[in-house]
Amino acid sequence: MLLSIYPISFTVCLVALISWFYFKNNATLSKICGIGFFGGLATYLLSIYLADAETSYKLMIVARDLAIIGGVGYFFGMIAKNKLVFFAFLALLYGALQYKFTDVLKNTFVEKITCEFPVGGNKDANSVELLVELKPNSGVESLKDLADGYGLQLKTAFSPKDGAITDLDDYITVDIPESELAATENIIFLLQRHPSVEWVEQNDVYQLDVMETIPQKRAPRDLKKFGLNDPNLKDLWGFQEMHVDALYSYLKKNKIKPKKKARIYILDTGVDSQHEDLKDNYNSFNRQYDNDPMGHGTHCAGIAAAVSNNGIGVASFSQNNEFVEVTSIKVLSARGGGTQQRILKGIIKAADNGADVISMSLGGRTGDKGQKAYQEAIEYANKKGAIVIAAAGNSNDNAKFYSPANAPGAITVSALDSDLNRAVFSNYIHEVDYGIAAPGVNIYSSIPGNKYASFNGTSMATPYVAGLVGLMKSIRPDLTTKQVHDILKKTGDKTGNTKETGPFIQPAKAVKAVVEMNKGIRLKRLLGSSLLLPTTPNIN
């Protein structure tokens, strides 16, 4: 709030002084303008006093601002008699304020990031404290004096293949040595004020949640309707509620064929590439990612792309296994911990290597008010043709406070229980850009060593959406994030509290909408027409 008072009070002073000169011959208006000027000036000086900055810096800003206010006011007082000239220069002043100076005012006193790392505490071995975006053409050497003064280690953070379409290659990491952790907030402030720096944010450290299993209340009643021989269909209550049998029926009856095999990247703890129910749908990206000491990534991969109709384990939305394949990038440790930078590198790596869908069942509450790096990484992935899916989080809280769930451009997934209510742990998603819901309680899937288990979490709901989006992208590869979300939203079912969860995905309806798009039917007409399916699972 304080940061917005400063530029507003400055503008009030400037406008009131100009008006005062203009109306100097009108006693009433002149008095009102004078009161406005001195009121604005008092508020301005209070905002300067309360600003979090060194006294010398405050005095420099006051001298600058008063010189501008006084000089501009005097100039307009000189030309006040010539209305045409007066208003011409007033228009020029307005344009200058809008084009440049407003941003200067907003950035004069930047808000400090509060560092949440405990002084002298343990950090992830791969972590650095900060991610810093440099302004164009500003190299690391521009921060040499600051780095030498505090013993900071500066390194390039990201190396996207297509640097021309992103600013990610302008990011560096700033590692603050343990001896200087007490000075972290001052270092952040100096970085924010540095002329070479565009943006500063924490390199957050995340840890996967361990969720206890909650007993399910529903299971598929008629396994034969799915037309599959996977024995653990009986454990997939979500298949019943998502009407997956209708999806299979629609694909088979209409002889739907993929235009490509969509690749889903699981950014997690790794994936057991040799699992009996995954290996035939698994395409290795890098052998070091083809194991999973924790099991979390393998569980997510099974939800998104388990081999269907192979007589073992579970199944996925791809009934005949022609539509999607899955691969892995390790961004979390064997214990489920990882840094923001490592996750961002995973997004970039997946985008640079042909990802159609990037699934992230990870994240945590962020200490920053905004995280620009996630937004830029997702924009980069979108430009490269990938759609990013992120878990809402398991804290029964607002997802807007959790990253990457709150990142603009990500499809954020909440978890439902078997009664189709928001799971008791699931964050709610009504304040993020693109929110959607999927089953997330007692979800049965693969774990390493040809085993299976039930887990809970938005982590489990996320790969359901990723698997469906992969199916949609295989049929229409050029789908954008907005198009996908619009389809999922319009074709989704209501939940017990849809505002908090978003609509519940209905794969058959969503795929039918994509097929109809390919037939040339306008999406707007489609989404409002009888071509969309009713709530019944029967599809013709």
What Cα–Cα distance (Å) separates residue 71 from each residue in 36, 59, 61?
18, 18, 15
Residues contacting residue 187 through CB under 8 Å, at least 6 positions apart: 146, 150, 152, 174, 176, 180
Catalytic residue among 9, 426, 459, 474: 459
Active site residue 268: yes
What's the CA gap between 23 and 9, in Å, rounded?
21
What Cα–Cα distance (Å) separates residue 324 from each residue in 2, 116, 239, 263?
51, 40, 18, 6
Catalytic residue among 268, 290, 292, 417: 268
Active site residue 459: yes
Q: Is 82 exposed, middle or buried (0-12, 13-18, 19+ CB in 10 A)?
A: exposed
Query: Tokens at residue 405, please?
Result: 């769930």
Looking up tokens 């005097």 gives 74
Contact 460, 303 (CB under 8 A): yes
Calculated CA dihedral for residues 390, 394, 395, 401, nearest 10 degrees: 0
Q: Which amino acid is at 223?
A: L
Calculated CA dihedral for residues 356, 359, 363, 366, nearest 10 degrees: 30
Active site residue 296: yes
Contact 167, 134 (CB under 8 A): no
Contact 363, 375 (CB under 8 A): no
What Cα–Cα distance (Å) separates residue 219 from each residue in 236, 419, 458?
6, 11, 20
Contact 266, 359 (CB under 8 A): yes
What's the CA gap between 102 and 526, in Å, rounded?
44
Concatenated DSSP letters of 284-349: -S-GGGS--SSSHHHHHHHHHHPPPSSSSS---S-TTS-SEEEEEEE-S-TTSEEEHHHHHHHHHH
What's the CA gap between 414 and 428, in Å, rounded?
7
Contact 480, 517 (CB under 8 A): no
Q: Is 455 exposed, middle or buried (0-12, 13-18, 19+ CB in 10 A)?
A: buried
Ranges assigned E (strand) in 331-430 = 337-339, 357-360, 364-365, 387-391, 402-403, 411-416
Catalytic residue among 194, 243, 275, 296: 296
What's the CA gap between 187 and 147, in Å, rounded?
9
Q: Could you list the active site residues?
A: 268, 296, 459
